[in-house]
Structure 1
Amino acid sequence: MIEHTLTVAGATVDARHWIGGERVASAETFTDVSPIDGCAIGEIARGTPAEAAAAVAAAKAAFPAWAATPRAERARILHAVADGVEKRLEELAIVETTDNGALLRSHRHGVMPRVAHNFRFFADWLLKLEHEDFDTRGHTNHVSWDPAGPSVLITPWNAPLMLATWKVAPALAAGNTVVLKPAEWSPLTASLLADIAAEAGLPAGVLNVVQGYGSEIGDALTSHPDVRRISFTGSVPTARRIAASAAAHLTPLSLELGGKSPLLVFADADLDLAVDLAVEQYDNAGQVCLAATRFLVEEPVAEEFTRRFVEKAGQLTQGDPRDEGTDIGPSIHPRQLEKIDGFVRRALDAGARAVVGGHRKDGHYYAPTLLTDVAQDSEIVQEEVFGPVLTLQTFTTEDEAVRLANDTRFGLAATLATGDRERAERVTARLVAGTVWVNCFFVRDLQAPFGGSRQSGVGREGGSWSFDFYCDLKNTVTAPNGWSQDHG
């Protein structure tokens, strides 16, 4: 007999889909495994195209009423969702740590508070969203943001709830209804979000959650003629399949596809700061799309930078992410661990040198790694590893630094360490990246546009850019003095 509810670290999680305001089971399940110890958490409903179609139908049925709901009421409900997140913050934190292996202290103090903030931010932004009317030869132009319709949101496993709500919150604020498909390696907090949203008063069908494998239900979601928007965070190959699937109905896409971002360290940088920024790239066991995994260090300071980095990295504690003293947890899944190890082994075989790590540890853990003696055209420099694996190269001139930084097919982010303001301005102007951090890292404001260049993605979200994507923008042009009657 299939158990529909799971007990996860003392919390109760429903393992079924959430469709049209009701829990829906599937005939088959898949096993959710904790990366902390490799033990099974439980069986999760394994969606089929039938459940995917039912979720889209529920979203379509709920759309007219939700789209017509006044902005202030939509904002009120989103704030109520944020209240629910804050009320259940500890539960969400421990469930997500169990599910994806990220640090519990980060979930408690950073990630889950940010989930609540995502809802509050877009609720508030909705209420001030406007464009000043403008005149064209006496005619009045009025710009409005019309809800687009059912939106399919496909989210990754590395920060499941936060990255899901970066999409869910603006889509709902815009007046769209949502079908959320969480990653199969970390589905649990999406199910809890459905409960929280229902308790907050979100009408049935406005948010639907369908679990399962993308290979089995992805096309049923992304090729559906009633879907009006698709937002995806994940790999380039999957994005290509989604784009091909969406092409039949020209469904607009927003794609955030990871990267191979550089950290440029110039000789005039504060080396202590640069090393702190470098070690920070091991955050979440390297499972961060924005991570600056390629260190480009000016030759005069490369030796000292490396020495300080090795010393500081050696102070990190890797282990159980539920322990307050842990700095690096596990990789999420045996397949991901095997992928990481394969990258490193091939790099070492090609002549790279591991000055830190370079090997697997017990369980789902991979040692924090820094590789030197790597060629610019090598796989380890060009391809996203998505694990705690960094490379170090040197440069001699500013032009060379920029050339190396831009010499991949990605363009998501870049980080720059320098003590020269004019150099920072020159270099950042030349970097191909959606976000550039100067003497800092991972400062992320929802007012700012977020997305990547080249194969790091298509489009931007955040602030008004999110509403531009999730809405159909309309310009209404009204002639002067054309009224047969005026109701005053």
Structure 2
Amino acid sequence: MTRVEVAGVEVSTEHFIGGERAGSDTTFTDISPIDAEPVAEVARGGEREADLAVAAAQEAFPAWGALGTAGRAEVMHRLADLIDANVERLAAVECADMAMLLRSLRARVISRGARNFRAYADLAVAYEERVWESNGTRNRVVRRPSGPAVVITPWNAPFMLSTWKTAPALAAGCTVILKPAEWSPLSCSLLCDLVAEAGFPPGVFNVVQGIGEEIGAALTRHEGVRRISFTGSPETAVHIGTAAARNIVPFTGELGGKGPLLVFADADLEGAARKAAGQYDDAGQVCLAGTRLLVERSVEDAFLELFHRFTDEHVLGDPRDDATTVSPLIHADHLERVEGFVERARANGDEIVRGGRRREDVGPLFYDPTLVIPRSNDSEIVQREVFGPVLTFQTFADEQEAVALANSTRYGLSGIVYTGSEERAERVGRGVRAGTVWVNTFLVRDLTAPFGGVGISGIGREGGDYALDFYSDLKTLQILDGTTA
């Protein structure tokens, strides 16, 4: 077995198929964003590995599905306990691999993975079949696991997002083939070790690593797959959705956002400005971030003064240092993409109010927290997702204009509203076109609530029973009244 030491932790660089580690003929280089240096050579899967992983998932599916919700919950709770016991190891590896702030990983992000497994296991056990009588029959809606599921996850918060997607699939009785992003695969490899230690039967949980256009494409077009769940870009989702449609396979996609952060004059301006400056956390690599600041015109100057004060408090640096608040971007290619957006905005005549430059004095992949005032709402910097430490600033005159601006992009994943009025919170919260709208708060998640986007931000819903239903075939069982054995 090929293992490397990452942040003092031994990590396998091989796939996990049928309960065993498996290599490939070729590898890809995993690079740490902290210093842009190689971390490991990782097994690079393709058609062969896709076939092996799907075959393993197919073989394991009947017994796992037949185990029942209580039996599956027992195994999943053991895994959750192991995640909690290994937070330090998982956090250290993910920080080295993806450069999320180490203190955040330790405090909340990794442990969310344990919460995911416990929550979905318990939800599946607590499921109550819908029962009713009609037309002289007794009726029940029965959940049946759908079969092998492919889960494709992004490079930001890879461990948490992988558990968020695989937990409901496993709880529903599906077997899983997880394809982590090639820019941050290593914490998912550690998850495989914990899966084995928890006693999951071989083939129930599989991980194949590699390039999206290779192993990802092979998995999504495979005829043995019965569900596909993806988080990533709308452009990639088009290819995955097309492949899924060819095999009539249900598909969910959480596809990023361009969230508005609306601030009304009656809001707690200091709280709103602090939260706005907080959108630079994790170098802005958060799909739910409120990247379009929309502020009522009468408080524009007061808000900006506070916003700049709080943004000035940010510290760019090593994500392992507790003093750091803004980490590096994930990869040189992504840094170039973010920089390209800002340079095109500059050329377009949009005003770069602050930032707008690389910070090579800090490290090779850092970009300054940037604020842009666009020439118009049609500017590219307003209309397309940057996924970096870049915010735009616009003003509005009234509630109607605020909602119109909030809804003026093709995205619709999330929105944030700051107001002191309960009535306005209700009106604007309903009016903003998004899958989730927070009022006077941000990133508070209830795992039973539906999660997903509208427009090009996604298709389908995850969370709670919505996720469990997605990974199930729903059967209506009708029995004629008076039927006896």
Short-chain TM bin: over 0.9
> How far does residue 87 in structure 1 lie from its aligned partner after superposition?
1.2
SS, match of residue 90 in structure 1: helix
Q: Do the aligned residues in 2 keep the contact of 1:287 with 1:386 (CA within 8 Å)?
A: yes
Q: Do the aligned residues in 1 keep the contact of 2:68 with 2:173 (CA within 8 Å)?
A: no
SS, match of residue 241 in structure 1: helix
CA distance in 2, matches of 1:408, 1:116: 35
Question: 2:471 aligns to what?
Answer: 470
Is it true that 1:366 corresponds to 2:367 in the alignment? Answer: yes
> How far does residue 449 in structure 1 lie from its aligned partner after superposition?
0.2
What is the correspondence of 1:299-338 to structure 2 with a 5 Å cutoff?
A: 299-338=297-336
Question: 2:414 aligns to what?
Answer: 413
What is the correspondence of 1:53-452 to structure 2 with a 5 Å cutoff?
A: 53-362=51-360, 363-452=364-453
> How far does residue 53 in structure 1 lie from its aligned partner after superposition?
1.0
Deviations 1:296-321 (A, max 9, x none): 10100011101110111001111000
> How far does residue 138 in structure 1 lie from its aligned partner after superposition?
3.7
Q: Do the aligned residues in 1 keep the contact of 2:374 with 2:381 (CA within 8 Å)?
A: no
Q: Do the aligned residues in 2 keep the contact of 1:320 with 1:326 (CA within 8 Å)?
A: yes
Unaligned runs of 5+ in 1: none
Matched to 2:248, the amino acid is L
Unaligned runs of 5+ in 2: none
Higher deviation after alignment, 9-18 or 131-140: 131-140
CA distance in 1, matches of 2:374, 2:17: 52
Q: Do the aligned residues in 2 keep the contact of 1:130 with 1:143 (CA within 8 Å)?
A: no
CA distance in 2, matches of 1:405, 1:285: 23
> How far does residue 39 in structure 1 lie from its aligned partner after superposition?
1.0
Q: Do the aligned residues in 2 keep the contact of 1:374 with 1:392 (CA within 8 Å)?
A: no
Deviations 1:131-188 (A, max 9, x none): 3411113421111110000000000001101001111111000000000000000000
> How far does residue 123 in structure 1 lie from its aligned partner after superposition?
1.0
Q: Do the aligned residues in 1 keep the contact of 2:374 with 2:382 (CA within 8 Å)?
A: no
> How far does residue 88 in structure 1 lie from its aligned partner after superposition?
1.0
CA distance in 2, matches of 1:350, 1:260: 20
Matched to 1:397, the amino acid is D
Structure 1 residue aligned with 2:44, among 8, 32, 46? 46
SS, match of residue 290 in structure 2: coil
SS, match of residue 364 in structure 1: coil
SS, match of residue 23 in structure 1: strand
CA distance in 1, matches of 2:2, 2:375: 50
Matched to 2:59, the amino acid is A
SS, match of residue 293 in structure 1: strand
Runs ≥4 residues deviating over 3 A: none
CA distance in 2, matches of 1:74, 1:432: 37
Matched to 1:410, the amino acid is Y
Matched to 1:317, the amino acid is V
SS, match of residue 446 in structure 2: coil
Higher deviation after alignment, 368-377 or 200-209: 368-377
Q: Do the aligned residues in 1 keep the contact of 2:147 with 2:225 (CA within 8 Å)?
A: yes
SS, match of residue 141 in structure 1: strand
Matched to 1:345, the amino acid is E
Deviations 1:51-104 (A, max 9, x none): 011101100010001000121110010000111111111000000000001000
CA distance in 1, matches of 2:248, 2:148: 14
After TM superposition, the score normalised by the length of structure 1 is 0.98
Q: Do the aligned residues in 2 keep the contact of 1:374 with 1:381 (CA within 8 Å)?
A: no
Higher deviation after alignment, 213-222 or 331-340: 213-222
Matched to 2:285, the amino acid is Q
Q: Do the aligned residues in 2 keep the contact of 1:284 with 1:328 (CA within 8 Å)?
A: yes
Aligned residues: 482
RMSD, aligned CA: 0.9
Higher deviation after alignment, 16-25 or 137-146: 137-146
> How far does residue 353 in structure 1 lie from its aligned partner after superposition?
1.9
Q: Do the aligned residues in 2 keep the contact of 1:152 with 1:179 (CA within 8 Å)?
A: yes
> How far does residue 374 in structure 1 lie from its aligned partner after superposition?
3.6
Matched to 1:194, the amino acid is C
CA distance in 1, matches of 2:232, 2:155: 9
Question: Identity rate of aligned residues, in percent?
Answer: 55
Structure 1 residue aligned with 2:25, among 7, 24, 27? 27
CA distance in 1, matches of 2:331, 2:383: 23
Matched to 1:404, the amino acid is L
Higher deviation after alignment, 100-109 or 121-130: 121-130
Is it true that 1:457 corresponds to 2:458 in the alignment? Answer: yes
CA distance in 1, matches of 2:317, 2:347: 28
Matched to 2:404, the amino acid is R
CA distance in 1, matches of 2:70, 2:435: 32
> How far does residue 474 in structure 1 lie from its aligned partner after superposition?
1.1
Matched to 2:478, the amino acid is V
CA distance in 2, matches of 1:138, 1:466: 32
CA distance in 2, matches of 1:309, 1:105: 24
> How far does residue 218 in structure 1 lie from its aligned partner after superposition?
1.8
CA distance in 2, matches of 1:132, 1:180: 32
Q: Do the aligned residues in 1 keep the contact of 2:352 with 2:372 (CA within 8 Å)?
A: yes
SS, match of residue 371 in structure 2: strand
